[in-house]
Chain A
Amino acid sequence: MSPAQSTLLAAGEASQHRPLIITLFAVFVAATLVITVWAGRQTKDAADFYAGGRQFTAFQNGLAVSGDYMSAASFLGIAGAIALFGYDGFLYSIGFLVAWLVALLLVAEPLRNSGRYTMGDVLAYRMRQRPVRTAAGTSTIVVSIFYLLAQMAGAGVLVSLLLGITSDAGKIGIVALVGVLMIVYVTIGGMKGTTWVQMVKAVLLIAGALLLTFLVLLKFHFNVSDLLGKAADNSGKGSPFLQPGLKYGATGTTKLDFLSLGLALVLGTAGLPHILIRFYTVPTAKAARKSVNWAIGLIGAFYLMTLALGFGAAALIKPDEIIASNKSGNTAAPLLALHLGGVDSDWGAILLASISAVAFATILAVVAGLTLASSSSFAHDIYANVIKKGTATDKEEVRAARWASVGIGAVSIVLGALARDLNVAGLVALAFAVAASANLPTILYSLFWKRFTTSGALWSIYGGLVTAVGLVLFSPVVSGKETSMFPHVDFHWFPLENPGIISIPVGFLLGVVGTLLSKERPDAAKYAELEVRSLTGTGAH
């Protein structure tokens, strides 16, 4: 997403709609700041800051989970990928959705029952605290920073595009604004504020998608087959547009890459720290289960709507116009809004502005969730349990979390500004791969494998992490291709963009190898405690 590719909206349409778009952005920001200050006043102890006081209802948390999960990548990215590549764009949504079953069946309830504030609580439960907390904190921060960086850089590109800002200073300004807002949400509002922001965003996003879906279907008299036929014709690609293969079917390597991506998507979700900590915001494991069910319903319905948006954009807008606006198709949804309302009409302008504001809200809510997850893990896992060895008071811990979010926010602003012209969209898939390779194996072994030990956990977390990050470093995501982060150098030797197909089995395998090779005996009493607590909720916080 370089500036050269993103001129269309910028040049003509965006600047003309700018006042309206800015007004809607400002309204959203003002509303969320009011919520944040209100939530901040209600935030008194550590359980409030980290877990929103554990008093959200299953439906509220289900909405917030959806708000946390449906990033700009899924709203704009999937709609755009469908608009340009047809069916292959839809493949993402399926992996993103099916993945929730892993969280539902194996992770959400045991985590809620046995942990307090972070993923590290469960990973370190029966292990030696300091090394495992350090590993869990490291992997949480790495996953979150990759994810955050992709969102921040994406926000810079997207928002400047929607507002018609082309200067470097303008883009850096937007990255900084997003960064400052997310720091404010997290430091002042904690989990309560962040959860409300995510709920508001989820409602706006679903309402926006519903409206566009309705308008698209109305145009085609609710005949889905006609919509698909028109999309295939207008795309210039004919019936292959409606089949898998346009994006991933080119060669044996791209097919393998798709398999690798599919694995990372389906196994990554249940290892994403910012998703996992959401389960602590409800009072019981049963409520955690219900919130996952709400999330599955809402996210599933939303992805079905992105089908209508993507194919609608393909049917109603010339592919050249979509590509001219943004090469990856990321502005297909806003463009669709403009076309549905009428390019030169007020109604078109209002729709475009509303969908742009929804996209902005989406980015803000997701970055806030990521900042909260990483600063919580820093404060609770690393500061309180490793550095202070468990002697920190609640107050000191929360203060550390607030400062950590300022630090993480500042780092993300700098990295996001530096990466503003790099193609960092691949980092989201990488975050999923790291989560699936480093976090999920340890979560599952900890909960379900009696024999698992501290060395197994360390081998699995660090081994999965290093393998996933290492392979990406030497993949075409980073160098060697026109679409790479650094297109002008080439040090890639790993052919796939997604490391999952190697790094996920490695993560699982190293957990077993590390356990079997060490002489350490598992702590049977601690496992008894974890197992009974995780399944029954005895002594749950």
Chain B
Amino acid sequence: MNKFFAIGLDSSKSDFINALMELGCTELNSQESKLADEEWAALVSKEGGEADIAALETKLNAVDNVLKTLDSYDTAKKPLFKSRRGISASEFASAVAAQDDIQQDVDKVLALSNHLKELQANQNKIETAVVGLTPWAAYQVPLEIQETRYTNVVMGIVPADTDVNAMRDALAQATDKCELEAIGKDDTQQYLSLVYFKEAEDDISEVLKQYSFNRLSFKDMSGTVAENLSAFEAQTAEIAADMSKTESELSDMVAAKDKIQVLRDYLATEQDKAKAIGNLLRTGRTFYVDGWVPASCGEALNSLAAEHECYCEITEPDKEEDTPVLVKNNSIIEPVESITDMYSTPNCHELDPTPIYAFFFACFFGIMFADMCYGIILTFFGFFCVKKYKLEGTARKLLTTLGYCGIFTFIWGALFGGFLGNMISVVAATFFHKEVAIKPLWFDPISEPMKMLAFSCIFGVFHLFVGMFAKAVMYIKEGKILEAINDTFIWYVFIIGLGLLLFGGSLFSGATTIGKWMAIVGAVVILILPVFINKGIGKAVGLWNLYGTTSYLSDILSYSRLLALCLAGAVISQVFNTIAGLAGGSGGIIGVVLFVLISIVAHVFNFAISALGAFVHSARLQYVELFGKFFEGGGKAFNPFAKKTKYVKIIKEEN
């Protein structure tokens, strides 16, 4: 990764940025920090252009909203995975040329969806009003009449448990100048109409208060309740018709979705461009930009700068400087980068761990999931999805990785003799009363768990040694040979020695003695070496390092999960098969159907839970045990300035 800066004439600014975007292999730095520097600030100012960016942002938001709206009216079946549609550059260009037409579609959808929202609001309003009016359906007086010359006409409510007759009597006692009528009643309230002479106001108010009479009024309405209700009904029907019409128009607009997606991507790239231009530093007639470019693209950048009459200089960064990181691997290993990315991008001073652990990840996954049938399904699923949905980016990488894991699952399944657990034996015993078993190519971990445990630990030691070797390589690259020996090679001697000392007896005679001497030599060197490497108190650090043996022990034991998960998956399969076999043994067609049903449900469940377990634990073995030996991470991924589209992939045409 190299640094570059370019200075050019103001007139070619926008062309240059355009070309950089097409090239798509430079990362532009933010120039804010330079403006804080007085020397820079005296010479240059920021290009700005916030208004353009904001205008594009508004447009982009509108288009995004429109796409969201159209999505909800799109009845086409949604694919399992989203992928970008490929279109040719000329198609894209012609769509951009017709952007005014597309914008009209966008505006139309916006207008329609706004209209729909209005209609919904109206509908809600009417519904509320209808709910309020319905109990008054029997009220005959037009609602606008609230008083006459001598009387007040009042509507009101009292609680449901009020005795209206008693209330009427009480009113009659207070004055004879009023008339109370019950209009309706529901669970909580009674609806009353009251007419009284204005002069009797004082006489009745006491009684009304006593019966907690609450006045209501429908000031903004006119006509009788029945008239109002029927008018609302008509309005509701009208709104419903309008709504369904608007919705069908919106559904028709779904056809324009593809074009609008192109517009959206165009606007997004324009906005990115505007932001890049806004970020430039400028003097009166020139502009300045700097950033990062991968060494392999330097040539292309130079010629591009020359074309646009820019001065461009590419320099190597200082050793200490943190640069963005672009990871490059061959096409087989590259998908596994997704597992590295889940942990962290490597930092710019260390090795990319992907090629180191890619094999182990799939292999350990395979051991834990080991089953031929599961392996075939997983492989097929992974590669099929990538092909079928033309996946890109992380989804493609992850599914391809799963495909690899599937291959190893099949291989280990064959080695351990698993096909849906012991499905074949169970089917043979249940339906054909014969004894058939798949012979494992290597051995059956269920019947020989100790052997499997030993091999798990041996795989683990090998895995750890590879990690330590990577550390040694990094030391040697920096010329620190002694450190490499101290951290890696002497530990090889020590750990192998300990292993031979403890378990070597069963391998060959004399192994214990060899192991003893290897362990002793290893321990002594581990104690002494830091004296030559470190200064001061650090000379005694060997003692502490030797104590690190415990961490190696726990690391190695951690690999016993290879055995545990392998057993869990296989035994659970067998348990399910046994249950299915019991059901199938009941005989006849029903038995077969039950057997198939139980097997499918059980194995789908076991597949899901075991695959998840295998993935997580295989990842953990890489992240914790392997990465702990040499990998730090925390790098910043190279983020090139390029066309970042969401819906369409622009395919350049060969001329």
- To the question of whether A and B form a pair in one complex, the answer is no
Q: Which residues of A contact B (CB under 8 A)?
A: none
Which B residues lie at the A interface, using CB under 8 A?
none
